[in-house]
Structure 1
Amino acid sequence: MQQAIIELFQTNPQVAIMISLLLSVAISILGVVPSVFLTAANLIVFGFWGGLLLSFAGEVLGATVSFFLYRKGFKRLNDTRAFQYPKVQKLLQANQKEAFALIISLRILPFIPSGLVTFVAAVGQTTFFTFFIANMIGKIPAIVIESLSVYQLLHLSFEWKIGVTILGLGVLIYIMKKVGVVGRSS
């Protein structure tokens, strides 16, 4: 996927930035597709700082568009049974100060899906202004960490990439066993 994006950028250099931003918006709207492949492509094609800034702009733009779409399409869902769990209600009913702090803290954590944070903020009581500012502040350290990580991975030798992949798969299997997704007996 990453290589296809790089080729798309390289064959369309005059609109590569626009393509990257549109892909960021699409990834944000879908809410479950990881953006790491796009970040990697941005870093390779536009350099570290250019790729980092473009990835940041794309993440902010994508979250903004998603917020409006989710708010328009799903606002009435916050009264359904799916949102009656106490922790979800806390996020949905948070005042602006609480929502601001929650959004920043959830954006910084790399394992919390961005789409979920945007969705809950959009269907909850969070104003657009609170969401936008908190999202931008929280995305700064998140995108810097992601960009540095991707940049380092791109520059590892083949042997190290194999080792990191094996380690990552091992950690994933371990977590899945702990959560109970893998290894259940019928």
Structure 2
Amino acid sequence: MVEQLSGSEYTAVILSIFVGIVVAILAVIPSVFVTSANILVFGFWEGAFLSFLGEAIGAVVAFLLYQFGLRNISRHYLHRFSSLQRLVDVQGKEAFFLIFALRLTPFTPSSIVTYFASIGKVSWQTFAVASSLGKIPALLLEAYSIYHLVNWTIEGKLLLLVIGGGGIIWILTRRLKNR
């Protein structure tokens, strides 16, 4: 993707936002790859901003598509799960703050937040604002981490050490529990 973005700046900006939207809709590829490419090509602030635009627009488009295609089907089966039903029934300020908080929470898949909001009673406007505002801190943290990893700064090395160490500890504790 970096090679495609390195051509004309206007084309690169449009392509970057478009890819961000597609990634948000498909919900299969982590957005970290798009953010990485954007930072490599455009620099930290412009790359982070383009990633934000792609993710924010993509979340709203995904919300509308999920709402159109899945709302009635999902609601038909949802009555079996009372805890999820409460999540789907939130409205207004409560829905705004729930979506905002879930976007702030690390490792919460965006597609799950978007899906449950889309089958619920949340308006697309409330979703768009709460989702976008919640994405800002998470995306800045992601961009900061990527920037330092790619540029191999001391912060990047420490981050890699912490992530690697945490991963090793997690694997070892799981193996010890399974014995």
TM value normalised by structure 2: 0.86
**Where in structure 1 do 4 or more consecutive aligned residues deviate above 6 Å?**
180-183
Q: Which amino acid aligns with 2:140?
A: V
Aligned to 2:16: 20
Aligned to 1:100: 96
Report the Cα distance in structure 2 between the residues aligned to 1:172 and 1:122, rounded to whole angstroms. 33
**Structure 2: which 5+ residue stretches go unaligned?**
none
Conservation of the 8 A alpha-carbon contact between 1:173 and 1:182: no
TM value normalised by structure 1: 0.83
Aligned to 1:56: 52
Q: Which amino acid aligns with 2:136?
A: I
Aligned to 2:134: 138
Aligned to 2:112: 116
Q: Which amino acid aligns with 1:108?
A: L
Closer, same or farther: CA 177–26 of 1 in aligned 2, 3 Å: farther
Conservation of the 8 A alpha-carbon contact between 2:24 and 2:55: yes
**Structure 1: which 5+ residue stretches go unaligned?**
none
Pairing partner for 2:75 from 70, 73, 78: 78
How many residue pairs align between the two structures? 177
Closer, same or farther: CA 15–109 of 1 in aligned 2, 3 Å: same
Q: Which amino acid aligns with 1:143?
A: L
Give the share of equivalent positions with the same residue, in percent.
Answer: 36
Report the Cα distance in structure 2 between the residues aligned to 1:145 and 1:98, rounded to whole angstroms. 26
Report the more deviating stretch, 125-134 or 84-93.
Answer: 84-93
State the Cα deviation string for residues 58-91 of structure 1 (Å, max 9, x = none): 111110110111001101112205x632332121
Closer, same or farther: CA 174–84 of 1 in aligned 2, 3 Å: farther
Report the Cα distance in structure 2 between the residues aligned to 1:177 and 1:30, rounded to whole angstroms. 33
Conservation of the 8 A alpha-carbon contact between 1:21 and 1:58: yes
Closer, same or farther: CA 169–95 of 1 in aligned 2, 3 Å: same
Q: How far off is 1:154 after superposition? A: 1.4
Report the Cα distance in structure 2 between the residues aligned to 1:59 and 1:17, rounded to whole angstroms. 14
